Amino acid sequence: MNKKLMAVTLPVLMSMTLAACGGGNTATNNAGTNSGNNAEPASAAAGNTAKTEAPAEKITIHYWYAFGGKIEEAKQALVKKFNESQDRIEVIAETQGGYDDLHAKVQAAFAAGNEPAISDLEIASTGVFARSGMLQDLTELAARDNDTLKLEDFNPGLMGNAYVDEKLYGLPFMRSTPILYKNVTMLKDAGLDPAGPKTWDELEQYSKTLKEKGKVGMTMPADIWFYEGLVAQSGGTMLSEDGKTAAFNSPEGVAPVEFWKKMASEGLIKIPVGDEAGATADKDWANQLSAFKFGSTAGVSGSLEIAKGNNFEMDASFMPANVSYGVPTGGCQLVITSKLSDEEKEAAWEFLKFMTTAESTIYQHKYVGYLPTRLSALESPELQEHFKQYPQYKVAVDQLEYARPRPMETAYPEVASIVKTAIEKAIIDPKVTPQDALNEAAEKANKLLGK
Amino acid sequence: MTVWEKLRPYGMVAPSIVIFSMFFIYPIFYMIYLSFYDWNFISPTKTFVGLQNFKDLLLDEDFRKVLSNTTVYTLLTVTLTTVLSLLLALWLNRKGFFHAFVQGAIFSPHIISLVSISLLWSWLMDPEYGLLNWVIGLFGFDKLQWLSHPGTALVSLVIVAVWKGLGYNTLVFIAGLQSIPSDIFEAAALDQSKPWTTFRRIILPMLSPTIFFLVIINMIGSFQVFETIAIMTQGGPVNSTNTLVYYIYENGFRFFKIGYASAAGVILLAIVGALTIIYFRLLSSRVHYR
């Protein structure tokens, strides 16, 4: 009898434990964020009071950001500068991984009531976050403080993703476009014109010559951001005007996949997959296995250092054109979450304004390579001089002329994932044509977008 | 009996019951509750949609792909790990420096973080410049695409899982082998039993509780596979390595579809629950306890 009881209860118990571990991601993630959240501010705040003997009303707010390396260094430096510039607000900056991780954590923290006051937000996700009610509408604050803020000073090419349903939800912070990075030394060694390819055809010709020399033209993940660029270069769009239907299965959307498939099948480009795909592309380029890479302008400073360290000359230019040049913008803006007290909201707004001043944007541009977000920054003698010295930094700025905002539909993250799968399928499977793969993806996407 | 004596056992199990309820029982019921709603985790309104999430799931061909991926991954991982580690245990179950060294060497992956392991194997499996393809090249074979091709990606992940799990499984098997009383082996030797007969008639039955334990533990682990996928493939290429837990994560935290993700979680609960019950039913009659 006992044994029988055991045989029933044990599996039930075990399966529950399993499901808790498997399905209950929510719970674990929340718990993780909670504990992290509670522990750090406590110690940091304690350290503060001891150090500066700040007035009792000093406000502590949390700022969550994405990415490490130079990007993190720049963000930390700006935060430090802000904290030292005044004694009413203490900002605690906390890293949260890449954009996907950051978004997931902000979302989970919001549900648990532990969200940061201010956060980086990848521009294409502004729609989802704003429509879910997670973001503070900044329209009034911006109007109130426009004397100092000067909204019209922000580069208009970067404001497309700042508004959702005509309300302002974020201000451009570390914004980018993808650009083409070139290993000039390798091109010269192969007897190629170091100016690099201006069109898709030229990219193919360059890659053929490089292949004969035992290299690949480019290592490039089938990244949705690059794809958006190539669709724009072909004269198409990802979604219809109203955002209710997919437009990427048009000839303009199919052309990039046809191009990639042809290049990959001839061994002219290498397409890595997985979380590390982007890193692999960078690595191949750094190790001079590939001559080109697509990458965010955020990589300019890092790439210059790599080129110097590995003894080659590097340059950057526009992404090659098909019928025209074209790129998506990218990067992040700063947003304020919606459930703050008035006091915290003002503190976060103060910090946000500081982070987006002309001075701050010049600093981050020179340190990392992201776009200068303000027109006054672009015109400043400091940057004009900088551009003369390092023309690589100017490429993305000039390319903004051909830039367009990213789609911000609520379903877009999922649509992007579906498109990416379709692209991979079309490239890898010889039996699947790009048109068929994208048609199938469009059918799925339409269901999501139509909701 | 005093009141204290009656209450004492309850008091003593209370902490673990409280924690168990908070972190296991409550989330399960909350997940089941959420699976009937359309919700993005944040907006104040949850829309009750009944069984719609489940209907969508079952009609979604990606979800069917995810289920078959998870099943194939689990079957391959569990079978390979169990068989290989049993063979290794039979070989390593003796004294001597060399055997101790090998045992330590194959155990070491067990204590390395899965994230490091994933990064390491991503490099090893790089199609162009990875060590594995270089070795294959030495023997004159064509390069494999490993993680970059839908045909090989899942198997590549299985290899990583087996490599990681082998040491621990072998250790448990060795412990199991050493707990078999030596008088049985002596009796078998007196009867001039052939090695194969000894293995089949003595070792396997005596080891059956260990085998059973490991199969269950490995199944649990395989069904929960997440880290290697999140780091090495993100479910790709072409969904060929998208498994249940990763699918749940993706839908919940990247696409903001908590209700849909919870429904997938409920299905995971049902499948694993059913499998475990079947296992206990089937094997309890065959498992040999002393």
Categorise residue A220: left if φ over 0, alpha if ψ from -120 to 50, beta otherwise.
Answer: beta
- Asked if the Cβ–Cβ distance from B216 to A14 is below 8 Å, we say yes
Residue B43: per-residue pLDDT = 75
CA distance B134 to chain A (A): 16
pLDDT of the residue at A274: 66
Dump strand ranges (E) for A282-411: 290-296, 314-317, 327-328, 330-336, 403-404
pLDDT in the model for residue B254: 84
Q: Which two tokens stand for residue B30?
A: 């909350």
| pLDDT tens for each residue of A321-335 | 999 999 999 999 999
Q: Chain A neighbours among B 129-158 (CB < 8 Å)?
A: 129, 147-150, 153
Is A23–B266 a contact, with Cβ atoms under 8 angstroms apart?
Answer: yes
Domains and CATH numbers, chain A: 7-30+57-176+330-404 (3.40.190.10), 178-328+411-449 (3.40.190.10)
* Residues on chain A touching B33 (C-beta within 8 angstroms): none
Burial class (CB in 10 A: 0-12, 13-18, 19+), B2: exposed
The stretch B149-166 carries a mean pLDDT of 93
* Nearest-5° Cα angle at B276, B82 to B203: 35
Least confident of A7-11, A410-414, B91-95, B244-248: A7-11
CB contact under 8 Å between B231 and A275, yes or no, is yes
The verdict on a CB contact (< 8 Å) between B253 and A21 is no
Closest by Cα among A381, B55, A220, A383 to A372: A383
A400, A371 Cβ separation under 8 angstroms: yes
Comparing CB atoms, the residue among B236, B245, B280 nearest residue A274 is: B236
DSSP state at residue A374:
B
| pLDDT value for B3 | 86
Give the tens place of pLDDT for each residue, A229-253: 999 999 999 999 999 999 999 999 9
pLDDT of A28 reads: 35
SS (H, E, C) A117-178: CEEEEEHHHHHHHHHCCCECCCHHHHHHCHHHHCHHHECHHHCCCCEECCEECCEEEEEECE
Q: Which amino acid is at B98?
A: F
Q: Which residue out of A18, A119, A136, A410 would a mutagenesis test of the B interface target, given it has the greatest number of B Cβ atoms within 10 Å? A: A18
Residue A338 and residue A133 in contact, taking contact as beta carbons nearer than 8 Å: yes
Partner residue opposite B237 with nearest CB, options A16, A273, A280: A273
For B249, the closest of A25, A27, A132 (CB atoms) is: A25
Q: Is B280 on the interface with A (CB under 8 A)?
A: yes
Q: Picking from A149-158, A214-223, B211-220, B274-283, which range would have the lowest pLDDT averaged per residue?
A: B274-283
Rounded Cα gap, residues B68 and B61, in angstroms: 11
Say how many Å lie between the first and final Cα of chain B, rounded.
Answer: 37
Contact A449, A243 (CB under 8 A): yes
Query: Is the pLDDT confidence value at B54 over 70?
Result: yes
- The SS3 assignment for A316 reads strand
User: What pLDDT sits at residue B287?
Assistant: 58
Backbone angles phi, psi at B234, to 5 degrees: 50, 40
Identify the pLDDT of residue B96.
86
Tokens representing residue A100 in the block: 């996907």
Contact A22 B244 (CB under 8 A): yes
Arithmetic mean of pLDDT over chain B: 89
DSSP letters for B186-255:
HHHHHTT--HHHHIIIIIHHHHHHHHHHHHHHHHHHHHT--HHHHHHTTT-STTTT--HHHHHHIIIIIS
pTM, to two decimals: 0.80
Could you tell me which CATH number the domain at B52-286 has? 1.10.3720.10
Residues of chain A where predicted confidence (pLDDT) is lower than 50? 1-54
* Partner-chain contact A26 B236, CB within 8 Å: no
Nearest by CB to residue B284, choosing from A7, A19, A132, is A7
Q: Which residues contact B200 (CB under 8 A, 6 or more apart)?
A: none
Which string of DSSP letters, residue by residue, matches A207-245?
Answer: HHHHHHTT-EEEE----HHHHHHHHHHTT--SB-TTSSS
How do the domains of chain B map onto residue ranges? 52-286
Q: What is the DSSP secondary structure assignment for residue B147, as one 8-state letter?
A: G
Residue from B274, B28, B213, B277 nearest A10 by CA: B277
Cβ distance of A27 and B119 shorter than 8 Å: no
* Residues of chain A positioned with their CB less than 8 A from the CB of B232: 274-276
